A = this chain, B = another copy of it.
Amino acid sequence: MGDVSKPEAILAALADPTRRAIVTRLRPGALSVGALADGLPVSRPAVSQHLRVLCDAGLLDVHKSGTRRLYQLSPGGVQALRTYLDGLWDDALAGFLTAAKSSPSAKGD
């Protein structure tokens, strides 16, 4: 489904505080929608909508268990963002080192 996990979608998904709270609550393990909503300050339908966004971004995985749906973190989505940040980190560090050379700043070079 949403296994492409583009960094843009993941960043957009993790931008919302409620969605980050959902992700945090899912870190210990999978939870049903009701259990998830029970510890959040929003209604259950709101949680469902957020879960859709998170799943669509590839951050969550869902599997049906009887009448309930268990949501859990998907390593693939997290990995996609990590890869993006690795490249960004590389460029940021290179730029930092370049700037360090250009600016004396009396640090001893």
Interface secondary structure of A, over-half rule: helix
Q: How far is the CB of A96 from chain B (nearest CB, A)?
A: 5
Tell me whether A38 is interfacial, beta carbon within 8 Å: no
| Interface residue? A40 (CB, 8 A) | no
Given contacts A20-B8, A103-B63, contact A95 B73 (CB under 8 A): yes
Q: How many A residues touch B, CB cutoff 8 Å? A: 36
For residue A74, give the distance in angstroms from its CB to the closest CB of chain B.
Answer: 6
* 39-94 of chain A: CB within 8 A of chain B: 61, 63, 72-75, 77-79, 81-82, 85-86, 88-89, 91-93
Chain B residues in 8 Å Cβ range of A77? 92
Q: Show 8 A/B contacts (Cβ-Cβ < 8 Å), sorted by A.
A: A8-B17, A61-B96, A72-B96, A72-B99, A73-B88, A73-B91, A77-B92, A81-B85
A interface with B by C-beta (< 8 Å): 8, 11-12, 14-15, 17, 20, 23, 26-30, 61, 63, 72-75, 77-79, 81-82, 85-86, 88-89, 91-93, 95-96, 98-99, 103
